[in-house]
Amino acid sequence: MMDSSASTPSASPSKAKKGSSVSGYTASDITVLEGLEPVRKRPGMYIGGTGAPGLHHLVWEIVDNAVDEVINGHATTVSVTLHKDGRTVTVQDNGRGIPVDIHPTHGKSALELILTTLHAGGKFDQNNYITSGGLHGVGSSVVNALSSDMVATITRTGGKFVQEYRRGKPKDTVKRIGDARGSGTSIRFTPDVEIFGDLVLDPELIYEHLEVSAFLNKGMKVIFKDDTSGTRTEIQHDGGVLDFLEHTITLRENRKTTDQVLHIERKQGPRLEIALAWTDAPREYFKSFVNGIPTRDGGTHEQGLKDAVVKAVRNYIDTHEISIPRGLSISSDDIREGLVAICSTFLVEPQFQGQTKDKLNNPETRGQVDGAVRPILEQWLHTNKSTADAILMRIVMSAKARQASRAATDQVRRKSATTRRLNLPGKLADCSNSNPTECELFIVEGDSAGGSAKQGRDRLTQAILPLRGKVLNAEQAPLKKVLNNNELSDIVRALGCGIGKDFNADRLRYHKIILLMDADSDGHHIATLLLTFFYRYLRPLIEDGYVFLAQPPLYKVEAGGRTHWASDDAEKDAILAKLPARYKVEISRFKGLGEMMPKTLYETTLAPDKRRLLKVTIPEGDRLETEQVITDLMGKDPSTRFREITSWMDLVEDLDV
Ligand code: 2B7
């Protein structure tokens, strides 16, 4: 093991400011005041929610303030007690004690200002006061606001001082209750049942949070008393992130590639501590933190570390002329496979990114971390020849495995799916799922409707085939002519099941074939042509229940703040009849599917849980009659066609599928 600590001693930075009192900080340093009502009104804004995570957030806020006193060199110990009720918590530190002197202009103690006003922080925290997580050290007032009871006990300047609060409001001014030696802060609080109901705290979660804090702040002593189980645990990790690394590897049951572990600690510039080791893990595994906050999605600090590792290893391979097997190329992924790393840095102004703010975004950090790690890692590899060899063997092995597995998958792919996929029509927007029982093909009339459907669909399971040209009337055409019709041959290719003597239902690519046409006479005509084609040439698909008609809305009825959809006049009238007379009603008629927003099309017509489909069936025992209908409807004699036209919907049956 090697420790490459930078040369600067780790003196605790003193936060004393020129012109301040002996304590280095007085009540007059407090800025910006705002009451706590907004916190009780909208707790979610401050702690994310009022469920279990929000409840635990209260504990992290107070604990992190105590840890800050340690980080900034004023305290050594943090103790946390979870009381018997499972909800009340006492946090204590042996730091300087929150100042209790009276603020000259506000006439209140600094303690009261800190615990009862929002955004009251010391002026120092903009300059050089680094905080561990939380609301940048101003979270204690938020916790107070959301606690039914809070008691702050401060020891400083030879005395013990107490102030109590009820739902964030002080019961009285700060009182000196006696003499005391030393200094420190103790805060006891009970989360308000009015806010959190009867939720209780989870001792295991508290333990985990404290443990991570102890790993990231080496030397800090943490005492956790859990009165719900009568246990008391002391956590202290003098090995810091090095201990964290060992702990992580053991927990994940990985084995190290070599016993050697790299540990880097930079004390110049932003504090940075990294530990890493290669293991037999099948992937890389990074745990990164900024100011003690886990950055689950990594970010620039993690990227800088990855850059450094990859470049240092490549540089080592180049300068030592390590021979790599012929034809084997080593990727960054190969270099990082099995790497387990902990990366913790402390920044004055961290910027977070992403929905959950789990990613560090400070651009300068990437180069700084790379710059701090790379030379040390290179040096480490140079001076530990056997370690470097073992790591390189590990890397070459992963490159070989990757190459072999890539070749194998390529071969499998070539043999199966691609050949069938290559035959698919170009205008088909296929779905990504390849299990036919879960897949649906929408045959859509017109390019613009096809476009909306492509955008609005569920890409996983819904494929779209837009029809552009004329659909041939298959009633009057031989198979050869049918296959010469672009639209019909595209349908056959998309379905994958063949036609005529090649027909094989087992190869059908979608178990729902849904015809989606405008709700007008043109749309009905095309649907009829398609159904004729299915009936004449792919009848088993109808018989086995694979063919459906979609029911797009024709009318949108807006009334009383709600939107209703109707697919014909009768449905529209039924909706109107049910609406209270006092409602102002707005009716709009869609000219075609292409007019609909993709989202609307999805919600009214495509979404499996909202749409209504009509399943096309051939009524049992009525086969001859159906045959007659088709002949009459689609055959050459216009008079029979007219007779049948109104009754053709008898072919279909209303279904919610
Ligand atoms: C930014 C605010 C919240 N604060 C101080 C000083 C010490 C101190 C605190 C604390 C949690 C439970 C026990 C500074 C910092 C307020 O200003 S908060 N210790 N511990 C804590 O909250 N523990 C302080 C300068 C001089 N003297 C004291």
Question: In sequence order, what are the residues at sequence separation of 6 or more whose Cβ sits closer than 8 angstroms to the Cβ of residue 611?
Answer: 550, 551, 604, 605
- Of the chain, the percentage scoring pLDDT greater than 90 comes to 57
Give the pLDDT band (50/70/90) at residue 20: very low
Minimum-distance ligand 1 atom for the alpha carbon of 121: 1
Active site annotation includes 198: no
SS (H, E, C) 198-256: CCCCCHHHHHHHHHHHHHHCCCCEEEEEECCCCEEEEECCCCCHHHHHHHHHHHCCCCE
Calculated CA dihedral for residues 26, 29, 31, 33, nearest 10 degrees: 10
Q: Per-residue DSSP letters for 433-480? A: ---GGG-EEEEEESHHHHHHHHHHS-TTTEEEEEE-SPPP-GGG--HH
Q: Is pLDDT at 315 greater than 90 in this prediction?
A: yes
> Average pLDDT of 245-258?
93
- pLDDT (0 to 100) of residue 15: 34
Question: In sequence order, what are the residues at sequence separation of 6 or more whose Cβ sits closer than 8 angstroms to the Cβ of residue 61?
Answer: 47, 134, 135, 139, 140, 142, 143
Distance separating the N- and C-terminal Cα atoms of the chain? 64
Q: What Cα–Cα distance (Å) separates residue 348 from each residue in 78, 125, 126, 127, 291? A: 23, 9, 8, 8, 9
CA-CA distance, 589 to 557, in Å (whole number)?
9
Compare 620 and 366 and report the one with higher pLDDT: 366
Q: Is pLDDT at 563 greater than 90 in this prediction?
A: no
Q: Is pLDDT at 655 greater than 60 in this prediction?
A: no
Give the pLDDT band (50/70/90) at residue 523: confident
Active site annotation includes 445: yes
Active site annotation includes 522: yes
Given this structure, which CATH class describes domain 240-402? alpha beta
Phi, psi of 75 (to 5 degrees): -140, 160
Instruction: Look over the chain and give the mean of its residue pLDDT values, rounded to a whole number.
Output: 86
**CATH superfamily to which 39-235 belongs:** Histidine kinase-like ATPase, C-terminal domain (3.30.565.10)
62-66, 294-298, 636-640: least confidently modelled range: 636-640
Q: Is pLDDT at 129 greater than 50 in this prediction?
A: no
Helix axes 385-415, 300-319, angle to 10 degrees: 100
Helix (H) or strand (E) holding 323: none
Kindly report the protein residue whose alpha carbon is nearest to atom 17 of ligand 1: 98
> Average pLDDT of 335-350?
94
- Strand 440-445 versus strand 512-516 pairing type: parallel
- pLDDT (0 to 100) of residue 478: 87
Q: Is pLDDT at 127 greater than 50 in this prediction?
A: no
Per residue in 193-233, pLDDT tens?
A: 999 999 999 999 999 999 999 999 999 999 999 999 999 99
DSSP code of residue 583:
S
Minimum-distance ligand 1 atom for the alpha carbon of 24: 26
The CATH number of 425-552+598-651, from 3.40.50.670, 3.40.30.10, 3.40.718.10, 3.40.190.80, is 3.40.50.670
| Ligand 1 center–CA 167 separation, angstroms | 21
| Ligand 1 center–CA 17 separation, angstroms | 15
Of 78, 185, 213, the residue with max ligand 1 atoms within 8 A of its CB, to mutate for a pocket test, comes to 185
Helix (H) or strand (E) holding 32: none
Of 15, 22, 23, 65, the residue with max ligand 1 atoms within 8 A of its CB, to mutate for a pocket test, comes to 65
- Strand 262-266 versus strand 2-5 pairing type: parallel
- pLDDT (0 to 100) of residue 633: 64
Q: Is pLDDT at 657 greater than 50 in this prediction?
A: no
**Do 57 and 48 meet the contact criterion of CB atoms below 8 Å apart?**
yes
- Strand 562-566 versus strand 585-589 pairing type: unpaired
Helix (H) or strand (E) holding 72: none
Catalytic residue among 125, 192, 334, 445: 445
Kindly report the protein residue whose alpha carbon is nearest to atom 5 of ligand 1: 98
Give the pLDDT band (50/70/90) at residue 421: low
CA-CA distance, 393 to 280, in Å (whole number)?
12
Of 15, 98, 222, the residue with max ligand 1 atoms within 8 A of its CB, to mutate for a pocket test, comes to 98
> Average pLDDT of 58-72?
93
Pocket of ligand 1 (CB under 6 A): 23-25, 62, 65-66, 69, 91-93, 95-96, 98-99, 114, 121-122, 125, 137-138, 140, 185-187
Q: Per-residue DSSP letters for 357-405? A: S-EE--HHHHHHHHHHHHHHHHHHHHH-HHHHHHHHHHHHHHHHHHHHH
Active site annotation includes 520: yes
Q: Computed from CA positions of residues 604, 606, 609, 611, in that sequence, does the dihedral angle turn out positive or negative? A: positive
Q: Is 197 left (phi over 0), alpha (psi -120 to 50) or beta?
A: left
Minimum-distance ligand 1 atom for the alpha carbon of 23: 26
Calculated CA dihedral for residues 287, 292, 296, 297, nearest 10 degrees: -100
20-29, 266-275, 472-481, 537-546: least confidently modelled range: 20-29
pTM given for the model: 0.61
Domain ranges of the chain: 39-235, 240-402, 425-552+598-651, 555-589
- pLDDT (0 to 100) of residue 621: 61
Per residue in 154-189, pLDDT tens?
A: 999 999 999 999 999 999 999 999 999 999 999 999
